Amino acid sequence: MDVKKVLVVGAGQMGGGIAQVFAQSGFEVLLYDSFEGAVEKKIDFITSILDKDVKKEKKTQEERDKALSNIKECKELSEASDVDVVVEAIIENLDTKGELYKNLGEIVSDDCIMASNTSSLPITELASRYKNPEKFIGMHFMNPVPVMKLVEIIRGLQTSDETYQVIHDLSEAIGKVPVVCNDVPGFISNRVLQVYINEAISCLNEGVASAENIDTIMKLATNNPMGPLELADFIGLDTVKYILDVLYEGYGDPKYAPDPLLKNYVRAGWLGKKTGKGFYDYENK
């Protein structure tokens, strides 16, 4: 299968990054969001990133122009009838995603592959909501997408070998490293990462060390760019809690239960960087 045109649904942080990497790798990209103005805002952000890349001589002006000309706003999903692949990056809700796959199923061709960027919903169940479950797959990008090399590829029970191969090759074509994993709660990345983050939150809650010290210890101990609490703020504490809930429910093992401090922060609306307050204060930065 020769992939030329991709529809990215959801112009949030992940969808915008996904659109950018496809566009700068020479693919035609349609970017859709159900919120009025979201795509325009995201294209402005991508433009600012590409302008910075030109300034820093990481890209030529021509590469910047070409990448931007490859992204078009998709105003109505019906404009996407000729796409080869859809990458869905919308809200983590089974029914909302299922509704989208049903609608898109009536628009795209029977050959079109549906890839979900879900970080934790079961691919096998999502696949069952698409007209061709064998053409459904998990394509989990990491944030910030243009910077992070990994694409975690998750095969549902129904995913065909051909679908897997197309998405594997496509991930390489956009400069990423695809790594396959089975369809289990949290896949690999979040099953391991969120337990690490939760343990750091427990250390903070128990007063073992300050947030700064926990992060400095783990940054220097493991050569990570961010400590676990800073990373939790970056991901969003609501998302961290949500994924831990999925893990807890999926495995029934108390080791995945969100720490009470995390639950309280989410109740308070202290969700990390995006709300200006989490384990750190971002308001005056």
Considering beta carbons, is residue 37 or 225 the nearer one to ligand CAA?
A: 225
**Are 279 and 266 in contact, with CB atoms under 8 Å apart?**
no
CB under 6 A: which stretch of 26-34, 72-80, 137-145, 177-185 binds ligand CAA? 137-145
102 binding ligand CAA? (CB under 6 A)? no
Q: Which residues is 178 bridged to in the sheet?
A: 151
Among 25, 47, 189, 275, interactor with ligand CAA by CB under 6 A: 189
Q: Exactly one of 143, 160, 202, 216 binds ligand CAA (CB under 6 A); which one? A: 143
Under rule CB under 6 A, residue 198 binds ligand CAA:
no
Q: Does 142 bind ligand CAA (CB under 6 A)?
A: yes
* CA angle in degrees (0–180, nearest 5) for 108-152-26: 55
The least distance separating ligand CAA from the CB of residue 269, rounded to whole angstroms, comes to 19
CB-CB neighbours of 283 under 10 Å:
7
CB of 138 to ligand CAA, least distance (A): 11
Catalytic residue among 117, 190, 198, 230: 190
Residues in Cβ contact with 174 at an 8 Å cutoff, skipping those fewer than 6 apart: 21, 22, 25, 27
CB of 234 to ligand CAA, least distance (A): 6
Residue 135 or 241: the one with the smaller Cβ distance to ligand CAA is: 241
Is 4 among the residues that bind ligand CAA (CB under 6 A)? no
- Kindly state whether residue 108 participates in binding ligand CAA, applying the rule CB under 6 A: no
Stretch that binds ligand CAA, among 156-164, 169-177, 224-232, 265-273 (CB under 6 A): 224-232
Catalytic (active site) residue 152: yes
- Should residue 57 be labelled a site residue for ligand CAA when binding is judged by CB under 6 A? no
Between residue 75 and residue 94, which ones bind ligand CAA under the rule CB under 6 A? none
Closer to ligand CAA by CB, 84 or 233: give it.
233
Cβ-based nearer residue to ligand CAA, 91 or 147: 147
Closest CB 6 distance from ligand CAA, rounded Å: 18
Catalytic one of 152, 171, 198, 230: 152
Asked whether position 267 contacts ligand CAA by CB under 6 A, the answer is: no
Tell me the CA distances in angstroms from 204 to 50, 98, 185, 211, 267, one per residue in order: 38, 38, 26, 6, 18
Residue 230, token pair as written in the block: 């800073």
Does residue 55 bind ligand CAA (CB under 6 A)?
A: no
Number of CB atoms found within 10 A of residue 57's CB: 7
Any idea which residues carry the catalytic annotation? 119, 140, 152, 190
Residues that bind ligand CAA (CB under 6 A): 17, 49, 56, 58, 119, 142-144, 146-148, 189-190, 193, 225-226, 231, 235
